[in-house]
Amino acid sequence: MIVGFLCFLIAIGFVGAQTETFRFANYYADSMVLQRAPARLVLWGYVPDCRSVNVNYPDYSFNATLEKIPGKTYCRWKIDLPPAKAGGPYTISAVSGNEGIELKDVLFGDVWVCSGQSNMVFELSEVYNATTEIANAASYTNIRILSVNRVPSNSTLDEPPLTAPAWNKPSSTAINSFSAVCWLYGRDLYDTYKVPIGLISSDWGGTSIDKWSSHDALAKCKQTDDEVKAGLYPSNLWNAMIHPFVRFPIYGAIWYQGEANARPDEADALYRCYFAEMIKDWRLKWYEGTDKQTKIDFPFGFVQLAAEGTEGNKSAGYFPGLRWSQTGGQGFVPNELLPNVFMAVAMDLGDPTSPHGSIHPRDKQDVAIRLSRAGRAIAYGDTSLYYTGPLPVSAAITDLRETISAKIMYRNVEDKLYSFSKYGFELSCKERTGNTVSWIEGTLDTVMNDYVTVSFPRCPAGDAIGEEIRYAWRQDPCVFKKCAIYSGSDYLFPSPPYIIPIREHV
């Protein structure tokens, strides 16, 4: 009886020691951007002793709901408030008992999450023209940035690892080491829409996609529950660096990752599954986590794998397969497997002398402008914008007399096709048994408004012409911006790499 009573006191003392102060969750901080209308404004935090909490916004007072946390004496408070139009700065204050807390200099705009591996980590200070880019950044006071610290976790966290101040204006010290692609993408959006932009950079060099995927997403692909439980793929960056934000309404996400999965066992079917399932899962988790204030199909943009190696690398390697998987095996997005998904092609932006290795090109400006153009079309509905590059519609063998001639028709051409190289086209050859055994390289002959003709040498003796033509199927398909097929003003948009069945034979 007495022993039992002592244990009770000790237990109370222990729980009391884990108390919380009255506060907002750690990513609600001064100088932040909150997602504008039509999303409702979602705020949450902690309060000791489950005291009632009132939020003042803008001139009204609202009561927060309180959620008990098992085993704790404090509560999570939460509130969602009427949507706000783009603008600011505002002060939002919350009161509990005689304590008050405040968020100052808050803007309403669009919040984007930027994630991936080293090419997303790649700092603004490392790009071409870094000095100018950094100097220009400071004038964008309506863009606010947040960087998540790189700390993994084996279980899902409610708050991400952050260093205060969580949100910053893009001063030269703050922007210097911020993700270049994230920044340049957000800046392009701001320049177009003049709406405050919040950028959350949550990325880690060398990381494979399974680290950023929840157990739920992984279980849809290779993973059995047993493997997941055994911690073989601990989802540890999803847990610590993405999951905490699912209670925070966002507009969309961009992604630059894949190098770490460009391996023989992962680049093809597995990555295709991982990528589509991760996107679906992020969308569902955010939709549920924000009480439907983030769209169930929020826009998701990505950069297709860059070039690696020295120009004209003869090796196909595993990058082409991974690039193909990033489009769900269709060569373009959005498509029915990847709805509301957009991409920037980067395979022609190789940088063999990059001080950070050829896998880390310094030209992030072209990556960002291609991505933001696609984002404006897909995420913001500016459907008149050209953003895809030419896409193949059909391939036919038209002549077999001297050499093999093929005609490839394109759609999504703005005005006309442009060409800067004769190379990159390959025809499959197959043994009489039907197995594809080799690819032969062709040469571009003519470039018309919406089709090209290519000639190929003969297939190896004894082999027949196979069933497919592929394009840019190399780690590093061409010299900087000099691939075979482009369209758009300033030849900005390359044809993405493709593999297409031959429809007709002469």
Ligand X SMILES: *[C@@H]1O[C@H](CO)[C@@H](O)[C@H](O)[C@H]1NC(C)=O
User: Is residue 128 within the footprint of ligand X (CB under 6 A)?
Assistant: yes
Q: Which stretch binds ligand X (CB under 6 A): 3-11, 34-42, 309-317, 483-491?
A: 309-317
Bridge partners (DSSP) listed for residue 226 = none
CA distance 370 to 486: 13
Among 149, 315, 335, 446, binds ligand X (CB under 6 A): 315
Q: Does 35 bind ligand X (CB under 6 A)?
A: no
Give the nearest distance from C-beta 231 to ligand X in angstroms. 3
129 binds ligand X (CB under 6 A): yes
Residue span binding ligand X (CB under 6 A) among the ranges 74-82, 268-276, 307-315, 419-427: 307-315
Q: Which of 243, 493, 473 is nearest to 390 (CA)?
A: 493
Residue with smaller CB distance to ligand X, 58 or 457: 58
Give dist(CA 303, CA 475) in Å, integer.
Answer: 15
**Whole-Å CA distances, 434 to 396, 403, 463:** 19, 22, 9
Q: How far apart are CA 358 and CA 350, in angstroms?
A: 7
| Rounded least distance, CB 201 to ligand X, Å | 20
Q: Which stretch binds ligand X (CB under 6 A): 11-19, 38-46, 305-313, 386-394?
A: 305-313
Among 19, 21, 63, 172, binds ligand X (CB under 6 A): 63
**Whole-number Å distance between alpha carbons of 309 and 320:** 13
Contact flag: residue 206 with ligand X (CB under 6 A)? no
Cα–Cα distance measured from residue 266 to residue 296, given in angstroms and rounded to the nearest whole number: 28
Q: How far apart are CA 349 and CA 472, in angstroms?
A: 13
Residue from the set 18, 21, 149, 154 that interacts with ligand X by CB under 6 A:
154
Strand partners, 46: 23, 76
Residues near ligand X (CB under 6 A), total: 16
Distance CA 309, CA 307 (A): 7
| Per-position x/- string for 457-476, each x denoting binding to ligand X as judged by CB under 6 A, each - no binding | ------------------x-
Cα separation, 312 vs 505, in Å, equals 30
CB of 60 to ligand X, least distance (A): 12
Which residues are 65's β-sheet partners?
78
Pick between residue 363 and residue 426 the one whose CB is nearest to ligand X: 363
The nearest distance, CB 161 to ligand X, in angstroms, is 13
Both tokens of residue 411? 């759609």
Of the residues 117, 213, 223, 313, which one makes contact with ligand X according to CB under 6 A = 313
- The pair phi, psi for residue 448, each rounded to 5°, is -105, -175
Cα separation, 424 vs 313, in Å, equals 11
176 near ligand X, judged by CB under 6 A: no
**Interface with ligand X (CB under 6 A), residue from 20, 30, 40, 54:** 54
Per rule CB under 6 A, is residue 310 in the interface with ligand X? yes
Stretch that binds ligand X, among 138-146, 247-255, 311-319, 380-388 (CB under 6 A): 311-319
In this structure, which amino acid lies at residue 499? I
Segment 319 to 378, residues that bind ligand X, using CB under 6 A? 363, 365
Strand partners, 194: none
Which residue is at the shortest CB distance from ligand X? 317
Q: Work out how close the CB of 279 gets to ligand X at its nearest, in angstroms, rounded to a whole number.
A: 25
HSE-up (13 A, CA, CB side) for residue 316: 19
Report which DSSP code applies to 23: E
List of residues contacting ligand X (CB under 6 A): 52, 54, 63, 128-129, 154, 231, 234, 309-310, 313, 315, 317, 363, 365, 475
